[in-house]
Amino acid sequence: MLEKKKVLVIDDSAFMRRVISDIINSDHRFIVVGTANNGEEGLKKTQELDPDVITLDVEMPSMNGLEMLNVLMKTNPKPVIVISALTKEGADTTIQALGLGAVDFITKPKNIFKMNEEEIKTHILEKIFLASKIHNFPTRNEKKIEKHTVKRVFSSPSSNVKKIVAIGTSTGGPRALQEVLPYLPKELPACYVIVQHMPPGFTKSLAERLNTLSEITVKEAEDKDILRPGVAYIAPGDYHILIEKSSNSSDYWIRLSSSPAVGGHRPSVNVMLNSLSETNLDNIIGVIMTGMGSDGCEGMKNLKVKNNAYIIAQDEKTCVVYGMPKAVVESGIADVVVPIQRIAKEIVKAVEVL
């Protein structure tokens, strides 16, 4: 019989601690080994109980979740799932937590008594199960990045875009993107289209957070956005992002689609990459980073065969989950496999040299 995975529940609400604990203990794979009502107690319990997974509320007295996470990931890293509110403030805080190293998040329903509904319980247990398999916690790049608060989307035509960089990522992606986009120079004649598996309401906060850290402009993609150099477009949650040629100019623009999920994902990396492949452009760089499953592999194959794209894959050592890059690497289409800290340099080199 398999040993049960140990879970530590940290929340300042006694009601939430009980609800979450009951859900976890209802599954034969897990056991709640302890609870804590603030970050300071959570750090002590982590040291004492050595849990396999931690669920973490962010808004807590004494030491909040972000403060605890910052200390934890530097001293005793564990897979952490953040419990998030379905609000703009909750989304912003969740993105900060993912940037600090949380592996995933769960949104509380607006009606807290719906936590016990079967669909929500199944969702929570699946997230905990996947988190329990994570044992890799890449170190963060500690370089201080100048914050850029006032930026405009460039008005220069898309013909000045020397390369289109298409990036796909999932679990661990927000932190990985934080290790790449801030290190791309704004003068580089490239634009960036990005799929990060994430539900609605969070991709805008992710784009805003990355925009404050980066020289390039980072925005949540909108329908009919024209591709411009120095701009990164992140697919909004629950929409596929496709790249198409404008019918009345040489521009390429973004089309958002609510067509059915592909491989369980909307947005899907494959949908984005396949649309790029159909443009017949030969100036594409594909980047595949940390994530569960194999979304992006089919699209990268098409880009390699049809468009002779240059493919960059994140290495296993620096991935939170070596799933999506593994599929690309094992298919033999990756031109280079590098740590997350080198991906920005590889992109710059590919744009300037290739």
Residues forming beta bridges with residue 241, ordered by sequence position: 256
pTM value is: 0.90
**61 and 169 assigned to the same domain:** no
- Of 132, 166, 181, the residue that ends a domain is 132
User: Is residue 53 domain-resident?
Assistant: yes
Q: Does residue 61 lie within any of the structural domains?
A: yes
120 and 240 co-located in one domain: no
Q: What is the number of structural domains in the chain?
A: 2
- Active site amino acids: 170, 197, 295
* Per-residue pLDDT tens digits for 70-93: 999 999 999 999 998 767 788 999
Check: CB of residue 64 under 8 Å from CB of residue 88: no
Is 139 domain-assigned?
no
Query: Looking at residue 244, what DSSP letter applies?
Result: E
Whole-number pLDDT of residue 140? 61
* Domain co-membership, 46 together with 94: yes
Q: What are phi and psi of 185, to 5 degrees?
A: -70, 140
Per the CB < 8 A criterion, the answer to whether 39 and 10 are in contact is yes
Summarize pLDDT for 278-327 with one digit per residue, the tens. Answer: 999 999 999 999 999 999 999 999 999 999 999 999 999 999 999 999 99
Give the model's pLDDT for residue 345.
97
Task: Share the mean pLDDT of the chain.
Answer: 91
Asked if residue 138 belongs to a domain, the reply is no
d(CA 222, CA 234): 9
Gap between the Cα atoms of 216 and 190, Å rounded: 10
pLDDT at 150: 45
Same domain, yes or no: 114 and 180: no
CA distance 255 to 267: 12
Rounded distance between C-alpha atoms, residue 213 and residue 253, angstroms: 25
Identify whether 105 is part of a domain.
yes
Rounded distance between C-alpha atoms, residue 41 and residue 227, angstroms: 48
In a domain, 228, yes or no: yes
The torsion of the CA quartet 74, 77, 81, 85, rounded to 10 degrees, works out to -20
3-state secondary structure of 255: strand
Radius of gyration of the chain (CA): 20
Q: Is residue 149 part of a domain?
A: no
The pLDDT value given to residue 93: 93
Look up the CATH number of the domain holding residue 262.
3.40.50.180
Q: Which residues pair with 232 in a beta bridge?
A: 192, 218
Domain assignment of residue 338, yes or no: yes
User: pLDDT per residue over 256-285, tens digit each?
Assistant: 999 999 999 999 999 999 999 999 999 999
Clarify whether residues 301 and 222 are in a common domain: yes
Burial (CB count within 10 angstroms: exposed 0-12, middle 13-18, buried 19+), residue 155: exposed
User: Are residues 242 and 127 part of one domain?
Assistant: no
d(CA 295, CA 268): 7
Q: Residues 100, 175: one domain?
A: no
User: Lowest-pLDDT range, 60-69, 94-103, 132-141, 156-165?
Assistant: 156-165
Give pLDDT, residue 248.
75
Same domain, 123 and 216: no
- Map tokens 């529940």 to a residue: 9
Strands (E), the chain: 5-10, 30-36, 53-57, 80-84, 104-107, 163-169, 190-196, 217-220, 231-234, 240-245, 252-257, 284-288, 310-314, 336-338
Interval 214-240 mean pLDDT? 97
Transcribe 131-170 into DSSP letters: HHT----PPPP--------------S-GGG--EEEEEEE-
DSSP 3-state of 46? helix
Return the amino acid letter for 305.
V
Mean pLDDT of 178-202: 95
State whether 167 and 285 are in the same domain: yes
Claim to verify: residue 96 and residue 174 sit in the same structural domain: no
Range of the domain at 217: 158-353
Same domain, 288 and 168: yes
pLDDT digits (tens, 9 = 90+) for 135-184: 887 766 554 444 444 444 444 444 567 899 999 999 999 999 999 999 99
Q: What is the CATH number of the domain that holds 87?
A: 3.40.50.2300
Res 230: pLDDT: 96
**Residue finishing a domain among 96, 117, 132:** 132
118 and 236, same domain (yes or no): no
pLDDT value for 141? 58
